[in-house]
Structures are given as C-alpha cells and as structure tokens.
Structure 1
Amino acid sequence: MGRDFDDDDNDEEEEDDFEEVLFQGAMFGREPDLKKNPRLVNAARPPVKRMISDGLARRAHMIVLEPAQGRIAIRFVVDGVPYPAGAVPGQRGVAMIQMIKLLAGLNPQERSEPQTGGINAEFDDKKYELMIDTTVLKPGVERLRIRVEDPKVSYLKPSDVGMPENLIKDLREHTNEASGIILACGPPETGVTSLSICALHCVDPYLYSVYNMADVGNRELTNVTDFEPEEGHDLELSLDRLIRREADIIYSGEFQDPSTVQTIFDFADRLCFVGEIRSANPAQAIKQLIEWVGADKVAQHVRGILTQKLIRTLCDDCKQAFRPNPQLKRQLQLDEAVKVLYRAPAPPDPEDVEAPTIEELCEDCDGLPYHGRAACFEFLNMTDGMKEVVSSGADPEAIRKQMHDEKMTTIQRDAVRLVVEGKTSLEEVQRSFRPARKKRAPKRRRR
C-alpha cells in the first residue's frame, strides 16, 4: 500500500480508530536494556509499533523487512500470500530493524551473523509471540522476519489440522504394526515438525508404549514419554534400552544424518519410528532415503510418507454458492451427491456506479475474500506395487504415476476435497499451484 511507517503524521485519522501493539518484554529469558539506546528508542520505536500494529490488524502471520533499491521494503504475509506494505528510507529502515532486535534482546549492532529471538506482545486484547530472525544477505546488510504466533493455538493433533479420517486410519494402521518408518516431509518452514507430531498423535496411546527421543522445543507431546539417553550411550545402545523397556513407537525427529538414519533402519523391524525429512515431496524423500540406506531397505521398512499444503479458505460470510455443471463434475470426479460448490463473490459490474464493492459487501474479510487457511494432504503408502517401483529405481515420475494408479491421497486430489466441503474455491486451488505474484496489502480490520 506504499505506506511510510516513519512518518508521524501518516494516516492520523486512521490511527485514531486502531490501537497500537503493546510490547511486553523479550522471550527466552533475555532482558533488553532500552535505556542504553535512548536515541534509537526515540527514533525507531514509534514506526516499529505502527508497522507491527498494522500487520496484526491485517492478520499478517509474517512481516518481512529487507533492502530494496536503497530503501527497506516491508511485506506482510497474510494467509500465505505476500503483499507489499510500504517502504522506508534506508537509514530509517535499518534503525527499525535495530529497534526490533533490541526489543527481542538481541544485539542491534550485529549485522555479520544471523540472530534469533522473540518478543511477547499484545494487540486488541490478544496475546502474541513475535518470533524474530535475521539473515545476513551480504556483509553489513540483513533481512529481518517477524513470525506472528498465537501461543494459545497449536497444530499438533490430527483434528487441529483438519486431517481427514481416512488418512488418520491409514496412519494408525501402520503404527499398529509397531515396526517400520513413517515420515512427514516438506520444505523448511512448512510445518513439517508439527505434521510429524500430528502423525505421532494418530497412535492409540492406550495400546502402545510411545517414547520421544527428539528436541521438540515447547511443543507438547500427549501421552508420550521423554527418553533421556545415558551418558556415553550411542543411538544403538539407547534403542536397545528402549526395546528392553518394551517400547513400541519412537518419535525420532528429523532424519538428516546418514549414520543415524542407517541405525534407525537397522532397528525398524523391532520398533516403529515416526519422524520428518526435509524434502519437497514424498517422491524426493524416497530418493534421499535411497541415497542413505539403499532401495531395498527403503522398500522394506518405510510404511508411508506424508506431506501437506496450506490453501486459503473462503470467507464464510461472503462466499457464493453455485451448481457445478456435469462437465465440471466429471472433470473433478465428483460424486453425484455433490450439488453445490462455493466461490468468491464476483466483482461488481464496472458500469454500475451504485453497485457495492466487495469490500462493502463483507467487513470481515475486507474484500479479499478469503480468511484463514486449511491443509490438504498427500500420503505415499508403501503398498506392494509401490515397493516394486522403489526397488526398481524410484523414479519420481514413476512414483507419482503409481500413486495416481492406486488412487492414493495426493495434494491435488485432497484439495478437491476442500472444494467439495465448501472450504475453498476452485480458483484458489488453481492459484495455489501457480507461482506467487505480489499483491496489494489487505485492509486493516476494524475493532
């Protein structure tokens, strides 16, 4: 929207209608000393407060400040879509970045090494955790990101992420064997760890003994016992101890070290492991595992690989119903029982000057007209047919074809489920599979 957050007179009338964020201290035990930086605080704290308040009012889950053509550009990411949200002159933008780092208890002068921290905040009577990280782009130049998290919201159980019952059943059946390996995969920062914990929570804790060997931070694992390895014990000795404790299922965290992965595969006939791997999709995850342990072991021990994609959901207050024609129903392979789908409201006729705008039709979404996101899933099931494909070389295209032929859950197929359930539109599904384009920032929510 081209807003200058360093301008004290900017949008004075609008500021009267919206409260500003309250900073309530740094996270992780850090204690910022604002009194040592009075000039920075006086100059940069007001525009930082306005920027973060503006982002929270627009439902941004991420705010990015990065250099662009001698200025510091600001982007709000709302429901996964980045919107340009203004820019400030270079030196003022650097001061804002330094101020944010100071509020998080970080070193405001450090620009040669990445830093991470957090700020406790409150806005519109709601608590937030603002997770801060910096990336050094070149000596003395950095990008800063603010990830907005609601401490009361978690995505660690199947119901939290809207996992369909058929997928929960598949995961539960695989863990019932108390052997083999189940993995969640995806690129960095796509919720892979949370997804792997969701898979773990598909286990019936009253029938099986479940242990955790990973560092999960402040995430809560329900009915899972933390395991502390004894000093001097390697992974093999620790897994032997767990077997003696009659463990059934182990949450192992991220698969990243080849020797560790090899040991896990060696024990996968006696224990069931649930973990994660950083791969773009299940086919790429299979390829990586084969490089580490070989195709035969992958085919023998992997039970399934899960991934997800988040898609914006339609605003319930302004979405419009329509009847799909027979050709569309055949194309989407919809059941005959499906009579109605939903889409975003059409823009008004430009010739009708009295027609209300989309923004005027719905105050909740301010004309986007999407509000929030839902997950669609993909699950590679290691069937006998898939084992043959993996053993013969695991070509990604062959894996995709096998998944299609066996009608396994794929991202595209599950996205249609969200359309049928009325949660999203066909247009949004098509958009989510295209490269992202920059958009104007959505309007602020009124209190």
Structure 2
Amino acid sequence: MNPYSDKNSQAEVDATVVDVTEIFEEAPSQFNHGHRPIEENLNRFPDQDEAPIIGLVNKILIMGMREKASEIHLEPEDNKLTVRIRQGGNWRSLFDPLPKKSITPIINRLKAMVGLDISQTKIPQKGRLRKSYNGNPVYFFIHTLPSFYGEKIVVRIVESSSELPDLDTLISDKTTQNAIKALNNRKSGLILVTGPAYSGISTTLEACLAQQKERNLASIEDPIRRTLPRMTQMEVDLDRGFTYAKALESLSCQDVDVILVDQIEDREAAQAVLDSVNQGHLVLTSLYGKDGVSAIAQLSEWVKPSSLAENLSGIINQRLLRRVCPTCRLVHQPEKEELQQLQLSARQHQSSNFYRANTLSQELIQQYRQKGRLCRQCNGAGYHGEVGVYEVLTISLGLRSLIAQGAEPERLREAILAQGMKTLINDSLDQVLAGETTLEEFFRVFPDALFSLNQVQPVATLSPDFQKRLTDLEKSLADVNKAFTEFKKLMTATTSDLNEEFADESDEFSPQNLLLMVDNDAEIDLSEVTLISDTQLYEEFANPEKWGAFKKEVTPRSPSVTPKPANSTVADLKSELAIDEFLLPDDNEQEGKEETVIAPFKSIVDPW
C-alpha cells in the first residue's frame, strides 16, 4: 500500500506541504526519439486547449530527471519564461525561453499538480509531488515565490532509491573515512555536520546512517526528502505544534539507538538534542555555518557551554567542488609563483597533473551542437558532477575544557590546528593534485585560501603513538585538575571553620593590635599561642629570640625615627613605609568616623 496514493489531498497555503501521487504520461515520440527540435514542439500553445500544457509540464520534469538536475527554475520575465536547471553545480538553460502567454498556464498546472491554491498569487506556497518514473519513485518539491512579473517556481528533484549512499564511495580520503567511522561507532554523543546550503549535508548524514548496522534508527525531518529503509521517519508539523522538541521527546520511550535530526534551527531544538544525548542516544544533525568553530559558537549561545562540551563528539565540515569533466578537460601548467603561494612543492607538481575546464560560451555551445562536436558528458560546461571535501574534528579533552570555559574562537582554532586536523583547504588541494577538480574551482569556493595558507602554517599529522601519549597526558591533567578542585573546596571549608572557631576568642592578636605592637616595639609572648604545624618555620617562630630577629628584618629601616605629626596623612605613611600595604577597617566606623589604618605587611594574592 503506497502511503502517498491519496489523490484527493487538500491543499494548505502558507508554505504547507501537500502530497500527491501521479504516474507520468508518456511523452510524444518526437520528444523521446528526437526526430524534431524540442523548441519547435514546445512553442505551440492553442489558446483554448489545455492538453498541450499538461504535456509540456511533464516534458519539463522528465527532461530535468534525464539531465540529472537537482533543481528546475521557472523564472518569468517581461515577455518570456526562462527554464533553467542546476546540474552538478552548474547552471544552464533547459531549452529556449517560452513565450509570455505560457507563464500563467504552466504555473497553474504545477500548482494544481500538488493541490495548491491557484488563486493565491501573492503569498509563497510549497507542496510535494510523488511520481513514478521508470518504476522508481521520484519526489518533486515545488516552491512558489511572488515576483514582479509573476510567480517564480523552483522544483527540487529527489530520487527515492532503496539504498543509502555509501560512505566509502562518497569520500575518497581514507583518513577522513576512518575518522567519520570512528564517530559513528560511538554508542552515544552528538555528531554535527556543518556547511552552507547545497553542500551535500543531507547526503553525508544519510551515508552515516548507512554505517549503522543492526541498530534501531529514527529520523526527524522537515520535510521528509525520501523514504529510507529500516528507519522510523517523522515529519515536523509546526502548524500543529509537532516541533523537533516534541518529536525527540516522543522517541524517549521507543528504544531508539540512533536519531537523525535534519537541522537545528533554534534554542528549543538544540536543548532537546542535548537532552536526547544525555539519555544515551547517538544523535546526527546539521547546522548551517562556516566551520566547526562557528557552529560551536552558535550552539554555545543556545545551550550551556558546559553541557555542549560534555555531549559533543565531533564536527564534520564540508563543501562541494565541481568535478572537472574527464572527457574534455585540458592540461594546465600553473605558474611557479602560484605553486609557492599554495605551498605546493616542485615534487608535488611533478607527480601530479593539473587540469582546467574546457568551458564554452553559449555561442560556441550552439555551434558545436550543430556540428555534433559538443561534449555529451558536460554539454560544454567543463564540469560534470561534484566532489566533496571534508574536515573532521574529533572533540578531545583539551577542546572540551576550552568549550566549557567559553574560549574565544581564535583560541579554539589554534587548539584545533594543534591537534593535527586536516583542513578543508588542504583536502581541496589534494583533490586538485588528484585531477578531480581545478585551481579555478578551488579559488571560486575558497577565495581567501591564500590568506588562510599564509596565516596558518600546515600542521604535520601526529603519529598514532604520539597521539596516544597526548591523550594519556590529557587524562592525567584532567585527573590533577579534579583533585585540585576537591582540595580547594576542602581548604575553603577548613578555613571557614577556623574563622568561626576564632571569632569568639580575644582579639588580642588582631591585625590592628599586631600593627600597634610593631609600632610600639612591644614584645609578643608566643608561649600562649599554639601553632598546629610540624614545619621548622613555625618551630623557629615559637622561639622568642628568633622572633625578635625576624621582627627586626620586617621592620622598616630608616636612619632615624622621627615622631609622626598628628596630622599625618595616609600618603605620608605609605611613603615612609615604602612597602605594599592594604587598608583595614577600623572599629570607629560605628561612631560615624571614617578612619583608615595602614598595615605594614606585603599583601598576598589569594592563590584560590
């Protein structure tokens, strides 16, 4: 039984998702076999007949799938309708612009296919369409947007395959593969995937789920991109109050091992994710951001940094680079200065092949197409497909401490580079050296790459033995820090008890009286004072003769002692003593007099 087989689903405006299932109509033989140019057949629109519009819309969708497009954009202009597709990171026109009179019929047909209100043209709407093409289900996510010349429509194509993407096929670098697999093998924790929109985040999350064998899986999405096997999938419905937090709360009693949350959007969702991690789940989620440090900073504003540091296991930051077409690519010889700026050695240059894309202009594309010489793989774009570049950050004990303390982003970046993480720039350069992409594409995605390379020196990869020793040292430092904290609490409690014990005793040895004794050259009888200590220092002070010698050492030395005038100020006394002092309150404050007494002892900073 198909869960999306209801053709009578009611439309809901204001960006409400609508599901409709439909079987594609067979395209005409002229379209399938290419007996006539497509432009000739698409420009015929009888005024009273609507059937050609139905066939035209189906053609647009079918062509988008055949060209492996991720999106189809229908953009109304002053006197035409432009149809473009995004194909492997490239933009190109699907065919020649359509006449102006086709704008409204095509837009209304697409909206009717997903059950949207065709009378609403001034508000955004979105719907979901599920079609069957060549026996495989395909999802079309249709978004409408009011514009000056009419409604613009974006159709996102998602093929629903029964198999999840393979991590080994998706990522070529073995070090990156092993780092991600190590994170996936954890029983609990938070794994975060970051990057801009359309950077392959959803594909990476699905590939991580494919590595989870014999575990209970669940996902929370908005909306569900495609149905996945062996997984309980839930869709967020904000209009009905079914938020990410509510969905995560409902999974607490479902004995779920791994939870996929497609995106963290606000404070409530972030806190709910951390609560799920505390319950023992492994949570995979994403957050749009520049890098891992930016993601940590954003999450630290939503949740407590200490809680984030305790639950965060790792961050995967990624980008997509266009893959140079292997059929028509051209050999490129970079300049020596360019290699030096990229910190590439001559040996790397000699052992690698640099390529550039054979990108053609629109005029040349038309000429080569007419002559039958146009590259069939990239259609003159020079690029075909995309390759992912990654940096995997595993949260070490040192990073946990910095995150819990709310360290500055620059300090976090220094600590991350110090532990030997392979950066996005280095991974991208490896793809350039491997001939997967070009230097032009590298600088398009990373325009500040030269600045980053000059500012940050490359960090050598640490050996496994050294990494183990470093991890053991971090654990030892953590144990010492814990013991030091407990000792501090114990000493604080002991000092508090001693202060309460001596509070009721005679204040004969108060700081004020000790000061008067020193000024008046008075003798202090220490025989009545019990010093609880076994150190030699206190034993020496218990001897009256040695105490006298000590008193002479700490007494300010001056050639002669002159009587202090009655109107001596605090500044005069400070100048005369010539040592650090601190102010002590006087008991005469109760009588309304403010008087300050200077203690001739060096002030000591509290070590705690």
| TM-score higher than 0.5 | yes
CA apart distance, 1:114: 0.3
* Aligned 8 A contact 1:129 1:150 in 2: yes
- Please show how residues 120-199 of structure 1 align to structure 2 within 5 Å: 120=131, 122=133, 129=138, 131-137=140-146, 141-152=150-161, 156-162=165-171, 164-199=173-208
2:441 aligns with 428
* Aligned 8 A contact 2:164 2:228 in 1: no
Match of 1:341 in 2: 353
Aligned position for 1:42: 51
Tell me whether 1:211 sits opposite 2:224 in the alignment: no
Q: Say whether residues 1:98 and 2:117 are aligned partners.
A: no
Q: Please tell me whether Structure 1 or Structure 2 has the larger radius of gyration of its CA atoms.
A: 2
Change (3 A) 1:77 1:398: farther
Q: CA deviation at 1:327?
A: 6.3
Is the Cα–Cα contact under 8 Å of residues 359 and 382 in structure 2 kept in the other structure?
Answer: no
In structure 2, the residue matched to 1:286 is 296
Using a 3 Å threshold, how does the CA distance of structure 1 residues 225 and 393 change in structure 2: closer, same or farther?
A: same
Give the alignment partner of residue 373 of structure 2, picking from 360, 369, 376: 360
Displacement of 1:49? 5.0
Match of 1:30 in 2: none
> Once structures 1 and 2 are overlaid, which stretch shifts more, 395-404 or 269-278?
395-404
Deviations 1:241-294 (A, max 9, x none): 46xx5x654444433453453244245355242222332233332222112212
SS at match of 1:297: helix
Match of 1:383 among 396, 400, 405: 396
Please give the secondary structure, in 2, of the residue aligned with 1:159. helix
Q: For 2:319, which of 309, 316, 320 is the aligned residue?
A: 309
Quickly say closer, same or farther: Cα 1:106–1:388, change in 2 above 3 A: same
Assess, with a 3 A threshold, how the Cα gap between structure 1 residues 135 and 400 changes in structure 2: closer, same or farther. farther
Contact preservation (8 Å) 1:341, 1:420: yes
Three-state SS of the structure 2 residue aligned to 1:360 is coil
Deviation at 1:234, TM superposition (A): 6.7
- Residue 303 of structure 1, CA deviation: 1.1
| Paired residues of 2:139 and 2:226 also in contact (CA < 8 A) | no
Q: Closer, same or farther in 2 for the Cα pair 1:273/1:139, shift >3 Å?
A: farther
Question: Equivalent of 1:261, from 270, 275, 285?
Answer: 270
Inter-partner Cα distance in structure 2 for 1:322 and 1:387: 45
Q: Kindly state the Cα deviation for residue 389 of structure 1 after the two structures are TM-superposed.
A: 4.4
Q: Deviations over 1:42-85 (max 9, x none)?
A: 35335445545655565433210123346433322221222356
**Cα drift, residue 170 of structure 1:** 1.9
CA distance in 1 between counterparts of 2:127 and 2:248 reads 33
The count of corresponding residues between Structure 1 and Structure 2 is 388
Q: CA deviation at 1:430?
A: 1.9
Amino acid at match of 2:156: R
Note closer, same or farther for the CA distance 1:393–1:102 as it changes in structure 2 (3 Å cut). Answer: same
The CA distance in 2 between the partners of 1:104 and 1:374, in whole Å, is 33
TM-score of the pair, normalised by structure 2: 0.53
- C-alpha displacement of 1:101: 2.8
Is the 1:40–1:99 Cα contact (8 Å) retained in structure 2?
A: no
Residue 186 of structure 1: CA displacement? Answer: 3.6
Letter in 2 for 1:82: W
Q: Deviations over 1:321-342 (max 9, x none)?
A: 5677876666354694771224
Residue 5 of structure 1 is matched in structure 2 by none
| RMSD of aligned alpha carbons | 4.4
SS of the residue aligned with 1:144?
strand
* Residues 126 and 164 (structure 1), Cα distance of their counterparts in 2 relative to 1, 3 Å cut: farther
Is the contact between residue 55 and residue 63 of structure 1 (CA under 8 Å) also seen in structure 2? yes
Instruction: Report the AA paired with residue 214 of structure 1.
Output: I
Of 402, 422, 425, 1:412 maps to 425
Q: Which has the higher helix share?
A: 2
User: Which digits, 9 at most, give the CA deviation of each residue in 1:138-165, with x for residues without a partner?
Assistant: 6994221122344448654313523633
Shift in Å, 1:182: 0.8
Deviations 1:211-266 (A, max 9, x none): 325355633255x6779xxxxx9778766646xx5x65444443345345324424
Q: Equivalents in 1 of 2:305, 2:225: separation in Å?
A: 33
Give runs of aligned pairs for residues 16-35 of structure 1, distance below 5 A.
16=35
Offset at residue 304 of structure 1 (A): 1.2
Other-structure match for 2:461:
none
The residue correspondences of 1:59-70 to structure 2 (distance < 5 A) are 59-69=68-78
1:328–1:154 Cα change, 3 Å: farther
Q: Are the counterparts in 2 of residues 312 and 373 from structure 1 also a CA contact under 8 Å?
A: yes
Alignment of 1:312-331 (within 5 A): 312-321=322-331, 331=342
* Structure 2 spans left out of the alignment, 5+ residues: 1-29, 40-46, 235-244, 361-367, 449-608
Higher RCO (C-alpha 8 Å, min separation 6): 1
Secondary structure at the aligned position of 1:308 is classed as: strand
Report the Cα distance in structure 1 between the residues aligned to 2:319 and 2:188, rounded to whole angstroms.
28
Describe the SS at the equivalent of 2:435: coil
Q: State the AA in 1 paired with 2:425.
A: Q
Distance in 1, matches of 2:407 and 2:104, equals 48
Closer, same or farther in 2 for the Cα pair 1:240/1:101, shift >3 Å? Answer: closer
